[in-house]
Every structure is written in C-alpha cells, then in structure tokens.
Chains A and B, each alone.
Chain A
C-alpha cells in the first residue's frame, strides 16, 4: 500500500531573532513509498546527563535511511518498548512488528558541550549484534554523528557505503530583474546546515565538486553576461578565475576524476566547443571541433571519456569522445532532446535531461546507450547529479512557479522532494568522505 508522508526536518535551536530571513534550509517531503524496503527499527536514543542534546539522533538516522529508499523504518509510535541497553532488548517484540534489524543507542553528556554517543545494531532474527561504536562529539556535531551512524548501518546491512555524511551544493535565486540575488550554497545531504559560498546579482550555475571535496567549480555571469568559470575553495572562500589564452565565454565546468583537469565550454563567435585544461600546466586542449553547440562536458569515472551535449544532429543529444577529443560517438537516440549528462560513480549509467512530448524529465540509460528509463515525472526537470554511492540522483524540478530540488532512487521507485522557500536550482552532490 502506498502512502505519502510529510516530514519536516528538525531545525537546530533557532535564535530568538525578530528579523526573519528567507529560509536557508531545505525541508524534506517524502512523495513516494517503497513497499519492499528493508524493515528496520531505530529506537529513540536514551539519554544520560544534565544538558539535553539539541538533536534527536534516532530521528536523523531514521530520515536518512528512509530517504535512501532502501529502508522501511518502524514508526516510533508502533514500538512496544524503547530499550537503550542490550540487556533490555526482547527480540520477539521486534519480530512481531516485522523489523529485521534494530538500532538502539544512548547519548551521555560528558561536560560542557561534549557528548558521548553510542549505538548498537542487531539482526533481529539471529538475535546477533552486527555493529557497535561510540563517538565523542559536541553539540554542534551531533547531526554529523547521527549521519555517520546512518552510514555505518547502511554499509553493514547493504554492503555499500552510505552517502549520508556527504554534502550538496545548490543555487538559489530571489527577486527579479537586475536586483535578483543569486546565492551558491553548500549544505548537508539532507539540506541542513546551509552555508553561503557566493552571493551575486548575476546568475551562478553548474557547480561541480572537485574529487577531493575541497573546491567547487562553477560558472557565473558576473561580468555582466560575460560568463566565466571560477574555482573556489568553499571552506575558506579563496577563489581563482579559470582563464585561458583563448577568448570567449567560459561555462559548464567539470573536474576530471583525478582532479588534475577541468573540462569546460568556450563560446566565441557563435560557436561553442568543449576543452580540457591541465590545472597545473595550464595547457588547453580542444576536444570538440564542430560548428554545432557542444557543451556540458562530464568525465567518466575511469578518466578515459568525456560525455557532452551537442546539437550537431539538429537538436541536443549526448555524445562521447576520448579525453583527447578523438572518436566522437553519439549515445542517445530516443526522445526529442537529451542533455546535461551525469555519470554514475560506477561508470555504468548516464542520467540526463530527456525531452519527450514537450516535457523535460530525468532519464537513466546504460553507458553504451541501451535501456533508457524515465525516472521522474515533472515538466521542467533538469540538472541531475548522482549521490556518490550511486543510490540516488538529486535534480531540479518545479512546483508551481518555484524551482525546487528532489531526489529519486536510481531504481526509480522512491522519490522525495526538498522544498525551499524561493527558487532553487543546479544541485550538485559532493564526493564521499567530504566533511
């Protein structure tokens, strides 16, 4: 039976400020439910100490697991009891409820702003402990600790790394005309803890994380429409402009898997081609050479190919070329247009903006061009980006007049929207192991 569930994110303790600013964090809204997801129970954590933690660790873990589309967490109200010690567990209480796995834990206040967080993961049917860890953390790092536990649970049960401790980047736009304000943000993968990276009255687009997670490349129209590419170390804010001897507008940056090159687009005299820049030697290599619009280059994870958008056959389609610009091959043949490719971390699939019957949706296709499936059902869906464990795709969609973000599991079965107060677009998911 399918249900829709409305969930609002926990907000950290709010300042009692009288001046509201447009909302900075994204609100989760579950829009689909997966029937045969892994049943799990995450019991509200016990607490010991004087100062209560400001975060509900179990709720953060539950929301993470739910969002992945692979888990079906037991509602807290269905729980017969709430153990926080192994000795208090009666496994039959959980078998009755259908849970196959059980997570319990506790938080100890150890003084000042310090906490010790412990969790245990059990297999309910084998009544066996699968994992147990403890963390020394602080009040501001409690969410990060909860995400870390969710990653450990995900990995232990599914054998794949979790992506809950990762980050997303996205752009918001507020206002109209020349007073419009664009902000490039970085936030936790659930939309919490947003942090401004750049603010501008000119459009910012195409954020791309470096493989080490320290930098974000993006394109900006900040020279009054003369598009430029920047690389910014997001933690400290130093940035450099990507400049080459070749004149033209620069856009659509994409990092190579080894972080040594940047592929991007140079547009001049009515022509748009893709290039590869060696970030050390500054050597520039042209990869496409065609009077068509060639743009939006992305690298395959093996570092051997670049997939890009070209309208050389009349309308935008996806093509691939070697990293030396040889052997151009067309990849997409279905639908009216295909553009803005994103490559899965395992290199086996491509997500794209797929136009069919006048509507843009996110589709997924095998790397060699077969098995195209449509994953989303919006009208103007765009800019797909894979979670670094390949389990989900974040993309931009719209509800009414506002742009919003959404995630969809790569099997297409589970979708969740992240609504923002304002117009949000251009999401990009960070690599794993970024903090």
Chain B
C-alpha cells in the first residue's frame, strides 16, 4: 500500500499534546507490554494447613515443582484459556477442570495474585464487548472463589474485541477469540 509523507504541522503540536500533564504525573502512553501483575517466579511457601479441595499436591508445594507444573504442557495449569459460546459468559463443562486446577494452585499459593482477562469476538459494538469480556472474566473469578481462591488474588480486566487471538471474519476465528485468559 502506498504511504504518504507526514503533514508537517501535525508534528510539533502532536508532541505537545501527547506529553500534556496527566494528573498521575505519567507522561508516557506506551506502558510495558503484557498485563501480568505478578512475577510467577516469586513463589512464597503457603501456610501448611491450606489444602486444595480436590488436592493432588502436598501441603507445602516445592517451588520447583510448582514452576514445572505451570509450564508443563501436560498439566491443566499450563492451559490458560477458557472458551465461551457466542454472547455467553457460561463456563462450559470442558473448561471446569482447567478452572479447578488453577483454583487449587492459587489457593495453595494464596499470596499469589494474577489477572483474569476477558475477551470477545468482533461482533457487537466495542463498548458492549468490554462489558461482555468483563462478564466472562468474572464468571471464571466466581468459580475460582467458590473453589477456595481469595478475592484479593484476582484482578479482572477486559479487552473486549480489541485483542483477538486470531484474525478473521469467520466462526473459527470468532470461537478462538471468545475467551478468558489466566494472565500470571
């Protein structure tokens, strides 16, 4: 595609505007990539009495073992996505084991905090999809809390339709985009 040379008078005023005073003192608009709020390597030994409901792990998980489990493609914990039907925030049966695995992990490591992201496919208006994305993340949150995770461990955000996992105007792409993401 042909690109056109930038119009001169946009440059100086544009710089002034972008760097205008924010009340927080923050002048840069390009934050670090990613939305993780916790370093997954900073594992703190959990209190000894805390047992996960369907516990398969010992009362005091070994940090190395925890790290391996999170990244092991064979473990449920390495699955970070929960998928949804169109216009729905109902957690499907096949997603429940994944949610419960994360619940066990988080309740056994109850100083760990993380972010749940809600996402939508491109259909529907942008603001509606922010709300629907939040609803999806919140549905996962409620299931986690019901399974022993503390509210304070979970941050909820929504990207609506703005960060699709897959581009395309078809059901395959749409299905891949209707998701909640465990962002550690």
Contacts and interface: CB of A to CB of B under 8 A. Distances in A.
Contacts of B128: 293, 295-296, 309, 311, 316, 339-340
A178 interface: yes
Contact of B18 (A177, A199, A265, A353): A199
Interface stretch (A74-82, A217-225, A321-329): A217-225
A293 B124 CA distance: 12
Contacts of A337: 124
Contacts of A421: 1-4
Interface residues of A, number: 76
B35, B123, B139, B162 pick with most chain A CB within 10 angstroms: B162
A198 B13 CA distance: 11
Nearest to A225: B157
Interface string A121-141: 000000000000000000010
Given A199-B29, A236-B16, A237-B19, A21 B162 contact: no
Contacts of A151: none
Interface residues of B, number: 56
A178 B33 contact: yes
B115 A224 contact: yes
Contacts, number: 193
Given A20-B3, A24-B4, A421-B2, A238 B125 contact: no
B29, B158, B163 pick with most chain A CB within 10 angstroms: B29
Interface string A267-282: 1111110000000000
B105 interface: no
B34 to A, nearest CB: 7
A92 B165 CA distance: 65
Contacts of A23: 3-4
B144 to A, nearest CB: 13
B8 interface: yes
B106 interface: no
A206 B125 CA distance: 10
Interface of B: 1-10, 13-14, 16-24, 29-31, 33-35, 37, 87, 89, 115, 117, 122-128, 130-132, 134-135, 138-139, 142, 155, 157-160, 162-163, 167, 169
23 contacts: A11-B7, A12-B8, A14-B7, A20-B4, A20-B5, A21-B3, A22-B3, A25-B4, A194-B7, A195-B9, A199-B18, A203-B162, A224-B115, A224-B157, A225-B115, A234-B17, A235-B17, A236-B16, A241-B23, A293-B131, A340-B127, A380-B169, A421-B4
